Every structure is written in C-alpha cells, then in structure tokens.
Amino acid sequence: MRRLLLLPLALLVTLTLASPALAARPTIINFDDDDAADSALYTQLCGFPISSESAGHVVFHNEKSGATNFIANWNIRNTLTSEHGTYHVVDAGPDMEKIKGGATYLTVTGRSVTFSTVIGRVEVNLDSGEVTWHGRLVGAEVFDPAWYAPICDALEGTP
C-alpha cells in the first residue's frame, strides 16, 4: 500500500531531479516507523484494529537513455499486528514507466501483493489499458480489488 501512496512523490522527485547534471544520481528514501496511515487503512479494510510498522527504502532513478522515463526500486517490509497475531508483508522490486512504440507502459516487477497481486512481472499499456503478466498470481486476478482479504483473514484468526 505504501507503494501506491509514494508513487506521486516518486514522480515529483524524478521530474525535479531530471536535469542533465543530476541524471546519473539516484534519490534514496529510507524509513523505519510506526505507520499510522497503513494502520488506519488496514483497520478500515479489515474492520478490526490493526497496527502497522514499516521499514525499507525506495531508490528513484532518473532518466538515463531516453528509453526509460522512470524507475523506482522498492523494498518495503510491513509488519501488521492484531489481537490474533502478526502478518508480514514484503513489497519488493522495480517499477518502471517506459515509452515503447509510441505507447507508455508501466511495468511492475517483483513481489507486489498489495498492488499488482502478482509475484513476477505485470505490464500495463497506460494508453490502451491492456494488461499482460507472467509469474504467480496471489489474488483472484491481476490488480485484485480484494487484495487485502487474505491478510485480514490471517489477522482475524480465520483458518
């Protein structure tokens, strides 16, 4: 979920740092905190109190050759806790926005149970909406709107 919240910030940082003099320097954001926003989100989604602690980093890479507009490497570990137990979420891997054949694509690679619901690679043509994916589906569908259900079940003590 943090990935969704940080994407607008990532785009702003990338656009700000896209000058030729800074093009080769990545921007790194590290964090380790009690995550009030994720606590509130999971509490709302699951319907019972959940606390969240997040740690990790995001590395934002600038445009290099013109073929790739934006790359963000994610490594986020989120520990969710309820009265019934603890659930660990790992969201890791690079996201890339690129232009290919005149169309803009978003590619999500890695472990993304809270965004694409695929452990593998998902590519979205942002112009047509076409989605292709390869890997292991961890939801009922790619970008499953009920991605949080297995997390809530585990934290509720549901077998």
pLDDT tens figures, 53-63: 999 999 887 65
Strand ranges for the chain from DSSP E:
27-34, 51-61, 68-82, 85-100, 103-112, 118-125, 131-137
Q: Are 76 and 68 in contact (CB under 8 A)?
A: no
Q: Are 71 and 95 in contact (CB under 8 A)?
A: yes
Per-chain mean pLDDT for the chain: 81
Distance of alpha carbon 138 from alpha carbon 31, whole angstroms? 26
Radius of gyration of the chain (CA): 17
For the chain, what is the domain count? 1
Nearest by Cα to 10 from 26, 34, 31: 26
pLDDT tens figures, 27-54: 889 988 778 988 999 999 999 999 999 9
Q: State the pLDDT confidence band at 12, using cuts at 50, 70 and 90.
A: very low
pTM of structure: 0.70
**DSSP bridge partners of 136:** 119
Distance of alpha carbon 155 from alpha carbon 86, whole angstroms? 6
Over range 9-18, report the average pLDDT.
Answer: 48
Phi, psi (rounded to 5 degrees) for 24: -90, -5
- pLDDT at 67 (0 to 100): 45
Q: Which residues constitute the domain of residue 48?
A: 2-156
CB-based contacts of 94, cutoff 8 Å, min separation 6? 71, 72, 73, 74, 109, 110
CB-based contacts of 107, cutoff 8 Å, min separation 6? 95, 96, 97, 98, 121, 122, 123, 124
